Amino acid sequence: MTETVNASASGTWTLGDLTVNRLGYGTMRLALRADGGTGDRDTAIAVLRRAVELGVNHIDTAAFYFNPRLSANELINTALRPYPEDLVIVTKVGPGRDPSGGFLPQARPEQLRGQVEENLRQLGRDHLDVVNLRIGDGLERGEGSLADRFGALAELREAGMIRHLGISNVGLAHLDEAQAIAPVVCVQNQYGLAVRREDDELVRICAERGIAFVPFFSVASGADEEPVDVVARDHGVSPAQVRLAWTLHQGPNVLAIPGTANLAHLEANVAAGSLRLSEKDLARLAGISWLDGHNPAESA
């Protein structure tokens, strides 16, 4: 791995006409910690500013990332505005939360404009770079048609409120349906070395169509197993860095948005963008069992 830590070492991809480094940053953990606790505001602001210093120019967020004391969008606004010219902020709509934090049903098409306007207000923007329509609840893959909701966002794109559109928590049928309505620049699904590997084919199809595939929970997915530990020891890195490097290795269109509220973890995540896995490493990792389907290595 290189001594100088910078997200540019991960390579670049384009979201429509916006170029981003493939190693980005997800803000969910700034407001929604895995242990249910509330983070520190000053630390969160420092993490965001350090991410940009390290070359991160792709930040993932949502208006529903908040706890009683902290809002991810407000933290982004405070830490980074006025925004660097090359910074791309990607948000998502569909789910919602009431002021007390309770999750609301999926937004109806006519409610999506309000969610877009909420993100605009919180971020202090006159347009949103990329908006993902997220369907389904929790980590369950969304089902049914997204045409009405995606069509509503396409109208907001035509009105200039949104620059580019993506979809989240979806399958190939959803991608086909969305592309028939408006251009899709990214697909954001749960995916990682040991989980949701049924999306291997969707990753490939997205690459063929010039669409970014953006996994979430790619580091947290699955327990570390011996092959991950062995590869990590061989390179002198952490298992989490190996998982991130594996994620980026899945294709030039695959981006990573690991989230953390810890400065040291942030630097380690960005450093993983320069970690190159050998064929031997990849062969070792191919034997790991995974969830929600069969291991493709078994039928190769």
3-state secondary structure the chain: CCCCCCHHHHCEEEECCEEEECECEECHHHHCCCCCCCCCHHHHHHHHHHHHHCCCCEEECCCCCECCCCEHHHHHHHHHCCCCCCCEEEEEECCEECCCCCEECCCCHHHHHHHHHHHHHHHCCCCEEEEEEECCCCCCCCCCCCHHHHHHHHHHHHCCCEEEEEEECCCHHHHHHHHCCCCCCEEEEECECCECHHHHHHHHHHHHCCCEEEEECCCCCCCCCHHHHHHHHHHCCCHHHHHHHHHHHCCCCECECCECCCHHHHHHHHHHHHCCCCHHHHHHHCCCCCECCCCHHHHC
* Assigned domain for 6 exists: no
What does the pLDDT read at residue 138? 62
**Catalytic-role residue among 25, 65, 83, 191:** 65
Q: Is residue 65 part of a domain?
A: yes
Q: Is residue 50 part of a domain?
A: yes
Q: What is the pLDDT of residue 38?
A: 76
| Domain housing 65 | 14-299
In a domain, 2, yes or no: no
Backbone angles phi, psi at 129, to 5 degrees: -65, -55
Determine the residue type at 129: D
Q: What is the pLDDT of residue 137?
A: 67
pLDDT tens for the chain, 300 residues long, are 445 899 999 999 999 999 999 999 999 999 877 676 778 999 999 999 999 999 999 999 999 999 989 999 999 999 999 999 999 999 999 999 988 888 888 999 999 999 999 999 999 999 999 999 999 866 678 889 999 999 999 999 999 999 999 999 999 999 999 999 999 999 999 999 988 889 999 999 999 999 999 999 888 655 557 899 999 999 999 999 999 999 999 999 999 999 999 999 999 999 999 999 999 999 999 878 665 543 433 322
Decide if 57 is inside a domain.
yes
| Domain count within the chain | 1
Domain presence at residue 3: no
**Is 65 part of the annotated catalytic residue set?**
yes
The answer to whether position 279 is within a domain reads yes
CATH code of residue 242: 3.20.20.100
**Within-domain flag for 235:** yes
